[in-house]
Chains A and B, each alone.
Chain A
């Protein structure tokens, strides 16, 4: 009888090297399951146990998870695209053509980056509406909702800054109109626009500023607020289930 995949994996996992990496022998007990989460630097923000109710698709539609997934896809594809992109005028446009026609898998990566970006914006909005309609913003989760709104703004700003980077007609004029809207802010509008563009019009300075915003400042802000967002989920008692609402409703006269 052939060995199963699980058996092969078990043998590999039980070696000295692997036991030193994962800090313990393999096993299927709940203790091992707990250690897998608790002892893992990437996973230990999550709780060891989770309510079965929260895992149902109808609870959250997994929108938060999917939003995070698109963010990670964007980071990976974005970093790869950065290797072939110079944020200067007009080199940026030439690089876009390079990525589409010369770089192996360049077209695919660029497409994936673009579609993931649209997907992320869509998912962020959907996640917000779903959280609202299931009442998961009520106490004690109010602040987490505010953090979510901040993340919405960061996402939109990330998308906006990224939009300029191809330096094509679509990019240039969309950002020109957008920056003129900013100057409509009373009192400080023109100053804010000047700072944002690094000049009086959309030119090389603007492209560089948007590049730094898009690739460094905003992703760091996003990671920071995502961490706070997940931390608050833990501290507020885990994912919201409809049960708290039903019980609360029935107990207030």
Chain B
């Protein structure tokens, strides 16, 4: 990185050749030079060849997998016999696990629709544009709202006995409370947690929840969608 240059103001007589540039130094910044300019490289050959290496690595992995692991093919489709268990492909198993707790209208239609809508509107909501830590502003008020929401969610999940979602909810809740602790420790873990915006927490909760649901649907569900321990099967 370049050494910091002293701040110099230049005034030229020809505004077109050397436009006047004025830097406003606000409270939270210093006039330290962050970076002089973005280094550019040629797409060809650098960019394209790097991409080619990445693609090549992926191709090797997939080809090796295809040579040694066969895709499944069960018996001919038989409308008169339902296999037990009848599982969806892995990316829908999280949804199928959710179907165990909620009726099809909720788990099959409502929740996926809400998830898609939530994803689409992410960039249009201020919650996600703020890049500041969620506890760094209006801490008391936000803690109150947080307590109410978390409690409501926990009650809802316990009523429907959706422990698979309850566990990550409690985990994220605990991490958020840790992030809200005062004073902010010098330790980098708590500092990093405290600087996470609300959008980070919501998305991480979503990522954890869907991963756990998918894992349960894949490994812990047997005939009749009953609970099985994968090592005993």
* A-chain residues with CB within 8 Å of residue B209 when the two chains form the complex: none
Instruction: Say whether B147 faces chain A, with CB atoms less than 8 Å apart.
Output: no
A30 vs B92: C-alpha distance when bound (angstroms)? 48
Question: B183-216 vs A: 1/0 string, CB under 8 Å?
Answer: 0000000000000000110010001000000000
User: From residue A9, how far is it (CB to closest CB) to chain B in Å?
Assistant: 13
User: From residue A64, how far is it (CB to closest CB) to chain B in Å?
Assistant: 10
Quick check: which of B7-15, B76-84, B166-174 contacts chain A, the rest being far away?
B76-84
Interface residues of B in 1-31 (CB under 8 A from A): 26-29
Assess whether B116 is in contact with A153, with CB atoms less than 8 Å apart. yes
A88 vs B110: C-alpha distance when bound (angstroms)? 34
Name the contact of A53 in the complex, choosing from B38, B89, B91 (C-beta under 8 A). B38
Assess whether A62 is in contact with B54, with CB atoms less than 8 Å apart. yes
User: From residue A139, how far is it (CB to closest CB) to chain B in Å?
Assistant: 7
Instruction: Say whether B87 faces chain A, with CB atoms less than 8 Å apart.
Output: yes
Instruction: Say whether B59 faces chain A, with CB atoms less than 8 Å apart.
Output: yes
Assess whether A33 is in contact with B42, with CB atoms less than 8 Å apart. yes
Name the contact of B116 in the complex, choosing from A33, A37, A149, A177 (C-beta under 8 A). A149
Assess whether B38 is in contact with A243, with CB atoms less than 8 Å apart. yes
Instruction: Say whether B73 faces chain A, with CB atoms less than 8 Å apart.
Output: yes
| A253 and B28 contact, Cβ closer than 8 Å, known pairs A65-B55, A163-B89, A177-B88 | yes
Number of A-B contacts (CB under 8 A): 199
Assess whether A115 is in contact with B65, with CB atoms less than 8 Å apart. yes
Assess whether A137 is in contact with B123, with CB atoms less than 8 Å apart. yes
| A121 and B207 contact, Cβ closer than 8 Å, known pairs A30-B42, A114-B71, A250-B29 | no
Instruction: Say whether A110 faces chain B, with CB atoms less than 8 Å apart.
Output: yes
Quick check: which of A10-18, A128-136, A214-222, A225-233 contacts chain B, the rest being far away?
A128-136
Assess whether B123 is in contact with A141, with CB atoms less than 8 Å apart. yes
Assess whether A33 is in contact with B62, with CB atoms less than 8 Å apart. no
Assess whether A69 is in contact with B86, with CB atoms less than 8 Å apart. no
Question: A86-111 vs B: 1/0 string, CB under 8 Å?
Answer: 00011001001100100000011011
Question: A33-46 vs B: 1/0 string, CB under 8 Å?
Answer: 11011000001001
Assess whether B104 is in contact with A180, with CB atoms less than 8 Å apart. yes
Report which residue of B50, B73, B122 has the largest number of chain A beta carbons within 10 angstroms of its beta carbon.
B73
Assess whether B26 is in contact with A251, with CB atoms less than 8 Å apart. yes
Measured as residues with beta carbon below 8 angstroms from the partner, the interface class of chain B is: 35 or more
Assess whether A65 is in contact with B51, with CB atoms less than 8 Å apart. yes
Interface residues of A in 201-253 (CB under 8 A from B): 201-202, 241, 243, 245-251, 253
Assess whether A46 is in contact with B26, with CB atoms less than 8 Å apart. no
Name the contact of B62 in the complex, choosing from A73, A133, A139, A166 (C-beta under 8 A). A73
Instruction: Say whether A3 faces chain B, with CB atoms less than 8 Å apart.
Output: no
Interface residues of A in 29-61 (CB under 8 A from B): 30, 33-34, 36-37, 43, 46-53, 55
Assess whether A46 is in contact with B38, with CB atoms less than 8 Å apart. no
Assess whether B59 is in contact with A69, with CB atoms less than 8 Å apart. yes
| A55 and B46 contact, Cβ closer than 8 Å, known pairs A69-B59, A186-B105, A201-B79 | yes
Interface residues of B in 60-102 (CB under 8 A from A): 62-63, 65-67, 69-79, 81-83, 86-92, 96
Instruction: Say whether A80 faces chain B, with CB atoms less than 8 Å apart.
Output: no
User: Please, could you name 28 A-B residue pairs with CB atoms under 8 Å apart, sorted by A?
Assistant: A30-B42, A33-B45, A43-B48, A49-B40, A51-B38, A52-B39, A53-B39, A62-B50, A62-B51, A69-B55, A70-B62, A90-B76, A93-B77, A111-B66, A111-B71, A112-B66, A115-B66, A116-B62, A121-B91, A132-B203, A133-B203, A149-B119, A160-B89, A172-B77, A174-B87, A177-B88, A243-B34, A249-B131
Can you list the 10 inter-chain pairs with the closest CB atoms, starting with the nearest? A172-B77, A142-B123, A114-B71, A111-B66, A181-B108, A112-B66, A184-B104, A33-B42, A49-B40, A62-B54
User: A residues touching B (Cβ–Cβ < 8 Å)?
Assistant: 30, 33-34, 36-37, 43, 46-53, 55, 62, 65-66, 69-70, 73, 89-90, 93, 96-97, 100, 107-108, 110-116, 118-119, 121, 125, 128-129, 132-133, 135, 137-139, 141-142, 145-146, 149, 152-153, 156, 159-160, 163, 166-174, 177-178, 180-181, 184-186, 189, 201-202, 241, 243, 245-251, 253
**Sample of 20 more A-B contacts, CB < 8 Å, known A112-B62, A178-B88:** A33-B44, A34-B42, A48-B42, A50-B40, A50-B42, A52-B38, A65-B51, A69-B58, A97-B73, A113-B71, A145-B123, A152-B119, A168-B75, A171-B77, A172-B78, A173-B86, A177-B96, A184-B105, A201-B79, A245-B131
